[in-house]
A and B are shown apart, each in its own frame.
Chain A
Amino acid sequence: MTQEELSVLKADKTVDARGTSCPGPLLAAKKAIGEIDKGQIMEVLSADEGTRRDIPKWCNKKGFEYLGTLEESGYFKIFLKK
């Protein structure tokens, strides 16, 4: 998705993992993915640069759709669809 599309995308669930270091955000995402239905969208907020790279790879392995990342002030918004 484009940055413009992501900026107006409404997530069904938000996981705020900005207070944790790797692998905290990834584990928070894994926990939360069980709480949404197939086809729903989740955004993961993380200040961890490694997570920005990990989530797309994790989505690929687990069969989720990585939608893209928005760079906010001091953190990332990483979007995926279950």
Chain B
Amino acid sequence: MANKKMTLALFSGSVDKLTAAGVILGGAAAEDMDVEIFVLLQAAFAFKKENAMTNERVAEITDKQDEFLASLKRLNAPHWTEAFRNAKEMTNVKIHICGFAGKVWHGEKLDDFIDLADDICGIGEYMTAAEESDINLFI
């Protein structure tokens, strides 16, 4: 039986939403789903090499940022990049950087982004993948 497919339009560049995306990716990996992630505008900022490990912005409940970040450590939660990497090791996950998004953050080539990224693509690929997927999420 063919694996189920999930597409994720990843817009957010904040660690709270990226962490949530990592948790969902873990669930998809446990079920051997094929996953395609399209890194859109603000997420492309987080995927830049110089930002991935230092970016601590949160998108929601911003007045509790310190508590949130401390809780991730207390709970031994992996950094979102590690969660994404674990998922890639366990199932078929492809991560595409939106070409436009990359340029917004002065990322012109694949090497400008962390090695989780597989390629730079246009929105047409996302539309095709989303049409064919069983689950399509926007985070």
Contacts and interface: CB of A to CB of B under 8 A. Distances in A.
Interface of A: 19-24, 26-27, 29-31, 54, 58, 61-62
Contacts of A62: 31-32
Interface of B: 23, 26-27, 29-32, 75-78, 86, 90
Contacts of B26: 22-24, 26-27
Contacts, number: 33
A31 B90 contact: yes
Contacts of A61: 31
Contacts of A21: 75-77
A29 B76 CA distance: 18
B90 A30 contact: yes
Contacts of B77: 21
A32 B77 CA distance: 20
Contacts of B27: 23, 26
B30 A23 contact: yes
A30 B30 contact: yes
Given A27-B90, A30-B90, A58-B30, 13 more contacts: A20-B76, A21-B75, A23-B23, A23-B30, A24-B26, A24-B76, A27-B29, A27-B30, A30-B29, A30-B30, A31-B90, A61-B31, A62-B31
**Interface-centre pick from A24, A27, A31, A58 (highest chain B CB count, 10 A):** A27
Contacts of B23: 22-23
Nearest to A55: B30
A19 B26 CA distance: 16
A28 B85 CA distance: 14
B128 to A, nearest CB: 27
B30 A26 contact: yes
Nearest to B75: A21
Contacts of A58: 30-31
Contacts of A23: 23, 26-27, 30
